Amino acid sequence: MSTVTHTSGQKRPDVAPPGRPTGRRAEAAGNGIGGRIFNGFSHLFLAVWAIMVIYPLLWVVMSALKTDSEVIREPLSLIPESLQWDNFARAWTAGIDSFFLNTLLVLVFSVTLTMLLGSMAAYALARYEFPGNRLIYWMFLSGLTLPVYLAAVPLFKGVYNMNVVFPLLGPNKHLTLILVYVAWSLSFTVFFMHSFFRTLPNSIAEAAMVDGASHTRTFFSVMLPMAKPGLISIGIFNVLGQWNQWYLPTLLMQSVAGEPKHQVIAQGLIELSVNQGYKSDWSGLFAGVTMAMLPVLIVYVVFQRQVQSGLTAGVGK
C-alpha cells in the first residue's frame, strides 16, 4: 500500500471535469463558435445587400418589357404579362440612337487619351526622381479635392469664348467635351497608376535599358504591359464615370433647334423624360434606361477579375 504526500504549501492542480476542453482547446472552440456566428451574420448581410442592389436593376429591365398600363397598375411586379420587345425599338428611334453614338464617340477618345496621359505621368512620377517630383504629384492629388461644381462658372465662360480663337473648340463640340473629360479624370488616374507602377520590379526596366531600349520603348513595350491589371481597373472606372456623367455635358452641350443633336446618353434620357409632357411612355423610358445601363454592366462583368486583381495589386507599397 502506497501513499502520496504533498509538500506543505503546495496546491494540488485542479482537474478539469471530463468532456470539457481546457487551455488552448477551449480557446479554439470558443473562436470556432464565434467565427461561425460572425460568418453567418456576414453572409446574411451580403445577401441583403445583394438583394438591395440586384432588385432595382432587375426592376428596370423587367419594366422595360411591360406595357404602360402594367407599369402603372403593378409598378413593383417583376413578371410582365407578355414581353414587349418593341419598347426598345421605340426608344431607339425616339433619339436614343444618336445619344448612344455620341457617347461612344466621346468615350473612345476621352478614355484612351486619359489612360495614355495618366499612365505616362504616373510612370514618370513613380520611377524617376527629379526636382519637383512630389510637388507635381501633390498637384495632381489636389484635383481630387476640387468639386467640379466649383469650376462650373469659369469653365462655362472659357468654353463659350474659346471658339473665337480655336474654331474646333467651344460649346456643343465633341472635342471640347473630350478634353474636359480628360482633365476631370486625370487626377484619379495618376493617383491610381502611381501606386501601381511603384510595385513593379526595377530589375526588368533596368534589363531593358541594358539591352539598348530607350525610356519610351521601355515604357510602352515592357512596363505598360506589366501594368495591364491596373490599366483595366482604372479604365473601367473612367468608363463608368464618364458614361454616367451628366453635369458636364449639360453645362457644355446644349440642345439647339435645327441643329444635329450633340447630347450624350445621360442628357438623352432626361430629354426623353421631359419631352413626354402629358403623354406618358414609361415602358419606352425604361427601355432607354436599360440600353444605357447594359453596356457598362457587361463591361464590368467581363473584366471583374481584372478589376479585383488591379485594385489589390497596387497596395503592396
Lowest mean pLDDT among 8-17, 180-189, 215-224, 284-293: 8-17
**CA-derived radius of gyration, the chain:** 30
Mean per-residue pLDDT, 106-118: 95
Grid cell digits, residue 45 = 448581410
- Write the CA distances from 201 to 126, 225, 289, 317, integer angstroms: 12, 13, 44, 12
Mean per-residue pLDDT, 237-262: 80
Q: Output the pLDDT for position 4.
A: 47
User: For 150, which DSSP code?
Assistant: G
| 20/270: higher pLDDT | 270
pLDDT (tens digit, 9 = 90+) per residue, 177-236? 999 999 999 999 999 999 889 888 888 888 888 888 888 899 998 999 898 888 988 998
Judged against a pLDDT cut of 70, whether residue 257 lies above it is answered with no
Mean per-residue pLDDT, 135-161: 89
Q: Give φ, ψ of 5 to 5 degrees.
A: -110, 150
Q: Output the pLDDT for position 180.
A: 93
| 258/101: higher pLDDT | 101
Which stretches of the chain are assigned E, i.e. beta strand?
none
Q: Output the pLDDT for position 120.
A: 94
Q: Output the pLDDT for position 200.
A: 86
Is the distance from CB of 178 to CB of 113 less than 8 angstroms? Answer: yes
* Lookup result for grid cell 473612345: 108
